[in-house]
Amino acid sequence: MPRKVTKSLVRVIPPDRIYNSVAVQRLINRVMLNGKKQIAERLVYNGMQKAADKLKVQNPLEVFEQAMKNTQPHMETRSRRVGGANYQIPFEVKGQRQNHLTMMWFVAAARSRKGMSMEDRLALELIDAYNNTGTAVKKKEDTHKMAEANRAFAHFARF
């Protein structure tokens, strides 16, 4: 007897108000705490504008997109138990998971900076990611190094 086909569980997120970008809306949702969306919007928009002004770029969306591109992981490791031992097996990261990891690392890096407003933290993290430096980019590089170091176990991936 054939199984039922399940519906896709991907939630459709409408684009944000100013840049008409779904990626910016995802960042706003990730920054938001306790349902305070207007505060999160203001923080993200002002942070993007500050970063663009500091980098002397006309369009803040360009800065954001380049920063996200520089932070996106291409490989990650997943733990798998084989014969009584756990191995870190490298896998390629695709699609939605790539965007999810990028946003998580970016917001975590911004929140880990202390001594300034969240707006300034987001701006500085955008600038650092744009220039291929910073905590979020370092997290991506560490993930890639881990995947490269465990390349010998790639044959265990049978998905």
pLDDT digits (tens, 9 = 90+) for 17-46: 999 999 999 999 999 999 999 999 999 999
Q: How confident is residue 158, by pLDDT bands cut at 50, 70 and 90?
A: low
Q: Under 8 Å CB-to-CB from 39, ≥6 apart: which residues?
A: 32
pLDDT at 87: 81
Residue 85 or residue 35, greater confidence:
35
pLDDT at 69: 94
Could you give the percent of the chain with pLDDT greater than 90? 67
Nearest partner of 49 among 60, 39, 38, 40, judged by Cα: 60
Tell me the mean pLDDT in the region 45-53.
95
**Among all chains, which residue has been given the structure tokens 């490298």?**
90
Q: How confident is residue 84, by pLDDT bands cut at 50, 70 and 90?
A: confident
Q: Residue 84 gets which letter from DSSP?
A: T
pLDDT at 25: 96
Q: How confident is residue 48, by pLDDT bands cut at 50, 70 and 90?
A: very high
The number of residues in the chain equals 159
Evaluate if residue 159 carries a pLDDT over 60.
Answer: no
Nearest partner of 107 among 130, 84, 132, 126, judged by Cα: 126
Tell me the mean pLDDT in the region 148-159.
74
Residue 82 dihedral angles phi and psi, to the nearest 5° = -130, 115
Count other C-beta atoms under 10 Å from residue 35's C-beta. 7
Q: What is the domain partition of the chain in residue ranges?
A: 22-156
- Which residues, in sequence order, are bridge partners of residue 89? 78
Tell me the mean pLDDT in the region 125-130.
95
Alpha-carbon distance of 22 to 65, in angstroms, equals 11
Dihedral sign from CA coordinates of 47, 49, 52, 54:
negative
Pick the CATH number of 22-156 from 2.60.120.260, 1.10.455.10, 1.20.120.450, 3.90.120.10: 1.10.455.10
Report the amino acid identity of residue 5: V
Q: Residue 154 gets which letter from DSSP?
A: G
Kindly report whether the global pTM for this prediction surpasses the value 0.75. Answer: yes
